[in-house]
Amino acid sequence: MKWRKRGRIYAPDGARWWARGYAAFPTVEVLDDRLRVYFTALDEKRFGRTGFVDLDAHDPRRIVHESPEPVLDVGDLGAFDDSGATAFSIVGEGGTRRLYYQGWQRAERVPYLIFTGLAIDDGRGEGFKKHGRTPVLDRTDDDPFLRGAPYVMPQNGAFRMWYVSARGWVSDEHGLHYEVAIHHATSPDGVRWAADAGPCISPEAPGEYAVGRPSVLLDDGLYRMWYAIRSFKEPYRIGYAESRDGLQWTRRDSLAGIERSTDGWDSEMICYPQVVCVGDRLLMFYNGNQHGATGFGYAEAG
């Protein structure tokens, strides 16, 4: 599969108190005549909140509305999301809109702690109420360090989630870094989750230390996943894998079909993809240089 880049769409102009910079982790909700793209922006103290822009569904380069305030705010002092609340997956099921997000706290010996929260549509279509003050995907003995970047898919009256987990933090000649793989979990109600033992996609190539931000589509019985790859040897890039059951995956990164540009906003790295079907089109929204500091853009398959 090849992707045709359509260009950068959006980066904050710095005028809003909650969005001085960054538009990271584009997360797409397909509506009737528009695409609502949630993103995380940083304020002056680098706390992260979720806002959105609405795009013309026929021409996603055209912004038709921008949220004046965040739709998902940081949590109370000491809460798992007191430093940031980052949207990753939105699910409409039975008249309810669920937003699965990554809550993060700054820490002392490592940069942050990350766990997965849930927020529910507030009924007005532009805000969400948090399900609770604790994560729906919290630390366990198998996953004690990090459980975030959730992608949730309703299926057969239940829910599946692909998320990232850190095997641990390492301090070596590369500095302090985590080792991150993609895991799978299931839930009967979207709140109580049971994780499978072990990862389904792990770093493989020499120098790789993280695969993350999974985005999954079920296409005629074949599960397709796009994700970000982090390596000591080269900048962030986008990977691709396939599976018949969503559990056992074969990495086919050479088929990802998208690379860094020769110049411009995504010339240094490409990362954090989310792929969505819009009518008969397949679109990928992604970040470029500096992990979202230059905003997000999109590409179209074909």
pLDDT digits (tens, 9 = 90+) for 76-112: 999 999 999 999 999 987 678 999 999 999 999 999 9
If 0-12 CB within 10 Å is exposed, 13-18 middle and 19+ buried, where does residue 83 land? buried
Distance (Å, whole) CA 39 – CA 24? 5
Q: Six-digit token pair at 74?
A: 């940081």
From residue 224, give the alpha-carbon distance in Å to each of 92, 214, 272, 284. Answer: 20, 10, 15, 13
Model confidence over 239-260: pLDDT tens digits?
Answer: 999 999 999 999 999 999 999 9
Distance (Å, whole) CA 129 – CA 140? 25
In this prediction, residue 127 has a pLDDT band, given cuts at 50, 70 and 90, of confident
Distance (Å, whole) CA 274 – CA 298? 9
b or e along 101-114 (b: 16 or more beta carbons within 10 Å of the residue's beta carbon)? bbbbbeeeebeebb
Distance (Å, whole) CA 166 – CA 199? 10
Distance (Å, whole) CA 203 – CA 167? 11
**CA-CA-CA-CA torsion sign (182, 188, 189, 195):** negative
Domains in the chain: ranges and CATH:
3-301 (2.115.10.20)
Residue with tokens 């109370």: 76
So what's the pLDDT on residue 125? 58
Q: What is the DSSP letter of 238?
A: E
So what's the pLDDT on residue 92? 87
Give CA 91 to chain center in angstroms. 13
Distance (Å, whole) CA 207 – CA 249? 21
CB-CB contact of 240 with 225 (8 Å): yes
**Mean pLDDT (whole number) for 198-217:** 96
**Mean pLDDT (whole number) for 27-50:** 97
On average, the pLDDT of the chain sits at 95
